């Protein structure tokens, strides 16, 4: 297992982690500058942040700093209620693929979607199995597009508390079952993003990480699960502040063959966290050395 305690060469920052400071958005280009100034070598940006900063400007800034990507967030949201919404999702996903290529991402991360309309509080139906069927079908369609571009897709199973509104793939086992169906040859075109926050609770986690192997694990995300957790989306904890045994989990992932970046992805409403983006990055570096 790699020693993370003396440097942060394997730390990546998911840029949503520091998207807000001092009550306003922190621009992506400034975030990239702040990461580079701290010797951080990789980031994973979100599409809306890239759109606000400009795709070409983002690509140029990444190059100027020699910053790598550990992933691109995100594609997916596959479920639909009619032909128009299906096509809209397909179009969005092709744009996401093209952007990932332009930015040189190692993979496009997929949050697959769930019951259509649920994220807006108006679920169109209760057919979770049907939503899962749509996800499988649309992912097959996107995979063909991704193969032509040479851009791997990483299915991110989300915590079961998001099954209704964000992603109806909620275990690593389910994600790997999809991989086996859609890419039985383990071509490298399809894999998973293992986010500690979403999967830490799973009694089958160690076995499923081993099943995934290095060829299927395309990304590894860290933060922590707080007790108590007071908000379903924006109460993720800084590594070390919660109950996830991150070194053990990283050990499993590395034993499986993963040797990439460890990406810090924290959504938090905590006041201290939102005060100063630079301080937040400094804390990520310290905790990544100490607690991951």
In the bound complex, what is the minimum distance in angstroms from residue 215's beta carbon to its own copies? 23
Q: Give Cα separations from 126 to 118, 123, 164, 257 (angstroms).
A: 10, 7, 9, 39
- The answer to whether residue 128 forms part of the interface with its own copies (CB under 8 A) is yes
Cβ distance to its own copies smaller for residue 13 or 175 = 175
- Minimum distance between the CB of residue 131 and its own copies, rounded to whole angstroms? 10
The C-alpha atoms of residue 118 and residue 66 are separated, in whole angstroms, by 40
- Residue 58 is a binding residue for its own copies (CB under 8 A): no
Spatial distance between the Cα atoms of 24 and 165, rounded to a whole number of angstroms: 26
Q: Is 138 in the site for its own copies (CB under 8 A)?
A: no
User: Mask: binding to its own copies, 84-123, rule CB under 8 A, as x and -?
Assistant: -------------------------------x--xx-x-x
- Sites for its own copies among residues 158-177 (CB under 8 A): 159-161, 163-165, 168-171, 174
Residue 240: how many CB atoms within 10 A of its CB?
A: 15
Contacts of 120 (CB under 8 A, 6+ apart): none
**Of 181 and 243, which has the nearer Cβ to its own copies?**
243
Pick the closer one to its own copies by CB: 69 or 169: 169
Tokens 């032509």 belong to 148
* Binding span for its own copies by CB under 8 A among 11-19, 80-88, 91-99, 236-244: 236-244
Q: Which of 118, 114, 95 has the alpha carbon at shortest distance from 157? A: 114
Applying CB under 8 A, which of residues 62, 89, 97, 244 lies at the interface with its own copies?
Answer: 244
CA atoms within 13 A on the CB side of 128: 10
Helix axes 83-103, 55-65, angle to 10 degrees: 30
* Residue 74: φ, ψ to 5°: -155, 160
CB of 195 to its own copies, least distance (A): 13
Footprint of its own copies on this chain (CB under 8 A)? 115, 118-119, 121, 123, 126-128, 132, 159-161, 163-165, 168-171, 174, 200-203, 225, 227-230, 232, 242-245
């Amino acid at each position: 297992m790699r020693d993370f305690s003396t440097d942060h060469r394997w730390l990546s920052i998911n840029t949503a982690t520091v998207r807000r400071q001092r009550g306003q958005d922190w621009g992506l280009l400034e975030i990239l500058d702040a990461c580079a100034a701290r010797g951080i070598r990789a980031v994973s940006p979100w599409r809306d942040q890239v759109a606000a900063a400009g795709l070409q400007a983002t690509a140029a800034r990444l190059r100027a700093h020699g910053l790598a990507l550990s992933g691109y967030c995100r594609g997916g949201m596959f479920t639909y209620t009619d032909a128009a919404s299906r096509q809209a999702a397909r179009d969005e996903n092709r744009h996401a693929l093209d952007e990932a290529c332009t930015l040189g991402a190692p993979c496009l991360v997929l949050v697959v979607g769930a019951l259509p309309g649920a994220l807006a509080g108006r679920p169109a139906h209760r057919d979770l199995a049907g939503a899962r069927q749509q996800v499988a079908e649309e992912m097959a369609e996107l995979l063909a597009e991704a193969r032509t571009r040479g851009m791997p897709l990483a299915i991110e199973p989300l915590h079961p508390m998001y099954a209704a509104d964000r992603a109806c793939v909620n275990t690593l086992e389910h994600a790997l079952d999809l991989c086996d169906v859609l890419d039985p040859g383990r071509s490298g075109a399809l894999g998973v993003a293992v986010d500690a926050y979403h999967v830490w609770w799973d009694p089958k986690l160690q076995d499923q990480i081993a099943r995934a192997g290095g060829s299927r694990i395309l990304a590894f995300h860290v933060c922590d699960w707080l007790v108590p957790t007071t908000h379903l989306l924006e109460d993720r904890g800084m590594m070390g502040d919660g109950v996830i045994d991150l070194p053990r989990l990283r050990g499993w992932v590395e034993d499986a063959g993963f040797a990439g970046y460890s990406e810090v992805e924290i959504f938090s409403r905590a006041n201290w966290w939102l005060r100063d983006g630079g301080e937040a990055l400094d804390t990520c570096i310290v905790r990544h050395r100490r607690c991951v």
